[in-house]
Each structure stands twice: as C-alpha cells, then as structure tokens.
Amino acid sequence: MLCTHSASAIDAKQPNIVILLADDLGWSDVGFHGSDIKTPNLDKLANEGVKLKQFYVQPTCSPTRIGLMTGRYPYHIGGHICVLRPYHQHGLPLDEYMLSEVMQDAGYRTAITGKWHLGLAKRSYWPTSRGFDLAYGHLGGAIDYFEHTGYGSLDWYDQDTIPLHVEGYTTDLIGNRASQIIKDHDFEAQPLFLYVPFNAPHAPLHAKPSDIANYSGVKDEKRRTYCAQVDCMDQQIGHIVQALVEKGVARNTLVFFASDNGGYGQVADNAPLRGTKGTLFEGGVRVPSFIVWPDRLTGGRSFEPPLHIVDLLPTFSGLAGGITSKCKALDGIDFWPALANDQAMPKRDIYHNVHDSKGGRGSIRSGDWKLIVTLAEKADDGMPLENPKHVALLFDIRRDPFEQQNLATNHPEIVAALWKKIKARGPDVGDAHPYTARAPKDWVAPSDWSDAPE
C-alpha cells in the first residue's frame, strides 16, 4: 500500500515524535497491566494517553525493527525468521527507504540512541548512513550492560567514534543521551524525531544493585534482576519526558511506546497471554503499547482495533507531512483517522508471519480470527494438515484472547480460506538463508567494529 501525505493534511506546526521501544518486555510487566514492577512513568503516560490494546509486532528483535523502519513485513526481504548476527555480512537492504529518511526529508532532526540491530558489518548499514543525523548506542543485539560487549566485541559508539570507551549502565547511558538530545535541540528551528530503542530488559540479566534492592521480596533471583532492569528503564523514560517538559515542548510531542516482542522464557510475565518471545501466539507478538500527544489526541482511553508495527511509518509520516513515494509498497496503514477522529479502521489482514514460499507456514489475523500453521512439534493441540508435519490452530481472538480453544476442526472452511491467504503471499517471501546462516568456522569476533568497511 503506497501512501503519500501533504503538509495540508496536518497542522502547520509539525509534532515532535519520540518512539520508546523496550526489548523483550512481557505483557504483564508494566504497572498499567497490573504488574508489581514499579513503572510509574510508563503508567502515567499510558493513563494520560491512549492504550493500544491490540498492538502487534514480530516474534523477535530484528524483524520488528525491519517492520518499524520500512512499514513492510520483514518476510519481503527474508528477515522474518532470525535476527541479524555480528558475523552476518548483510543488513537491512540499502534499497529500502526508511522511516528516518522520510522524517529527515520532512525537515526533522533525526536521532537514535540505543539498540540498532539492523546491520553491523558494514558502515553503509549503520544509522548515520540510514537517515539519522545523530546516533549513539550499540549496533548489534544482546550486549553486556556494564562492559558494553557483545559476542566478545566492544559494541558502543557515538556518531563516528567507534569504539567508544565509556563507563556506565547501558539503560542509563541510552536514557541520558536521549534527554541530552532534547535539551540541546532547537525546537524553534526544526522538529525532532527521536528513536529510543532500549536494550532493556533483554538478556543478559544485568542490573544495578540499587535497583535490585527494590525487589528484595522477589524470591527468584533471575526474576528479581529482570524486575530491576524494567524499573531502571522506566526511570529513564521519566527523565526523557521531564526533559520535554522542561524544554516546553511536551504538549506538541507525540510519544509512542511498545516492546519489540513478547517476554522471554521463565523470567518475563506474558500471562494471561499464551506463548513467549519467538512464538506466533499472542504472548510472542502482542505487546504493551500506548500513544500520547496532549495537543492533538484525547487521552484517558483505550483503542481496541488491531494495529501492527508496520503501521507506524505511514501514520507518523502523515502527521509529519512526510512523503512516502520513495518507499517500496507499504504493508502498513495510516490509523490516525480512526485513533483520533473515531473513523472506521480500513479493513485489512495482519500477517504475523509468512514463514516460507511454498509450505504455507505462518500466521494471519483476519477480523476476529487468527490462524497459525506451524510444525506439529510446536503445538500439541494443533489440527493435522495434509503434510503430517504441519498443524493448524484457529482462534477467535475476540472471544478467546488467551488462545485456549483451537477451533480448527469446528471451522475447516475458515482454516482453508485463511491458509489460502498465507500461501498466496509465498511468492513474496525473500531468501532467508543469509539471516539463518551460522558463523563460518574460521570467524573470530573483532575486538571492536572500528575496521568495518564502508
């Protein structure tokens, strides 16, 4: 879906846009979803804004970031199954026009502070080559919160200074830099697009002792550390919001929050949703989310229609007066008229994933129905299909949001219709082999990424 927007579609004054992205945050690990983890800053924003009750992402890190930055499902480029690793020699394809570039063309100062995870081995894949004026943080995925190393390499940078040797806890460093960017920015000269992808609470489980002490009542040591990681992220989000207030721009700033996927393993709390990070169940792809814009959006409410991370590019570019004609055909839609003006949402299906070009594995949300076609070993309640290795699971998400009752045998006609839609997308699935490739036997992690070629 190709969308363009003109400046006449928005107020003369463009909004500042801040995207806050958590990493592996569980559905029930925020106060506004009933958690015991202390998230007062997130709770305040959520209660003042609009809670997005059915906001969907991809099951893992890099795929969600691909969807966010391109407005397109990652299966188009083969980036839908695995995350980018430091030994991979590719990144988000250079012919994909990104949200940061759309915002830059619309007159915004663009900045990222945090986790990139869209290409590391070549500088042409780095943020400053992809539409960001300012860039700070780490390029890869998992990172030591204190040593700033990933896969044995020092992975911390500031613009073109790489490696950057600096002391500090990554969540604090990311948040402090975001706040400083706001304090230093001339909002009278141009609006700000600020993308803050925290690496918290992604593994490894590292937290500051002062934050861990706040959860002495949590018996499980790993869960205790995880709670502290989330708590620290919330503190930094509070500092970022305070910087906007002190600068006098909070009312004309749109703040969006979500996690990049569901929580992982036994540490995060995705209950009552089924599944975890890496799965196509709701616990893997449905995440806590809200949007706040005091000047233009009536808050204190919830928004029920399903949304997807690919919707942010067309929606935010529309609000910014950006033009998306340089983008490839978008999968996302502009949901702002429905969110702000109570207009009907455009009818569309959401593809949680299209796994392969011929086998028909994947997942689709169509109206209230959700179909998952997966390997039999991954779902003991699946209905066998023609290929005995594959099973189908069909859920009525409106009536059964926790995916407890597989209705595939009750409605084989719906299974057939939705499976046909998934298989119809097969020819559009890109080659995933570069993303699933393992490290070469002779690969040795560099000490840092300063010698990365252009």
What is the chain's length? 454
Q: Is the previous residue joined to 74 through a cis bond, with omega within 30 degrees of 0?
A: no
- Judging by beta carbons within 10 Å of its beta carbon (0-12, 13-18, 19+), is residue 438 exposed, middle or buried? exposed
* Residue that is written with structure tokens 């996927």 in the block: 261
Active site residue: 61, 227, 232, 327, which one? 61
Q: Which residue type, as a one-letter code, is found at position 23? A: D
Dmax over CA atoms of the chain, in Å, equals 63
Cβ contact 286:306 at 8 Å: no
Q: Is the previous residue joined to 204 through a cis bond, with omega within 30 degrees of 0?
A: yes
Contacts of 245 (CB under 8 A, 6+ apart): none
Concatenated DSSP letters of 349-363:
-EEEEE--SSS--EE
Concatenated DSSP letters of 269-338:
--TTSS--TTSSSHHHHEE-EEEE-TTT---SEEE-S-EEGGGHHHHHHHHHT-B-TTSPPP-----HHH
Q: Which residue type, as a one-letter code, is found at position 236? A: Q
CB atoms within 10 A of CB 390: 18
232 annotated active-site? no
- E-strand spans in 368-454? 369-375, 383-384, 390-396
Cβ contact 17:320 at 8 Å: yes
Q: Which residue type, as a one-letter code, is found at position 332? A: G
Give the orientation angle of helix 221-247 with respect to helix 170-184, to 10 degrees. Answer: 10
Nearest to 70, CA basis, from 289, 286, 326: 326
Active site residue: 80, 117, 206, 352, which one? 117
DSSP state of 16: E
3 annotated active-site? no
What CA–CA distance (Å, rounded) separates 249 from 262? 32
What CA–CA distance (Å, rounded) separates 114 from 322? 24
Cβ contact 20:237 at 8 Å: yes
What CA–CA distance (Å, rounded) separates 170 from 408? 45
What CA–CA distance (Å, rounded) separates 124 from 95? 11
Cβ contact 172:200 at 8 Å: no
Q: Which residues are catalytic?
A: 61, 117
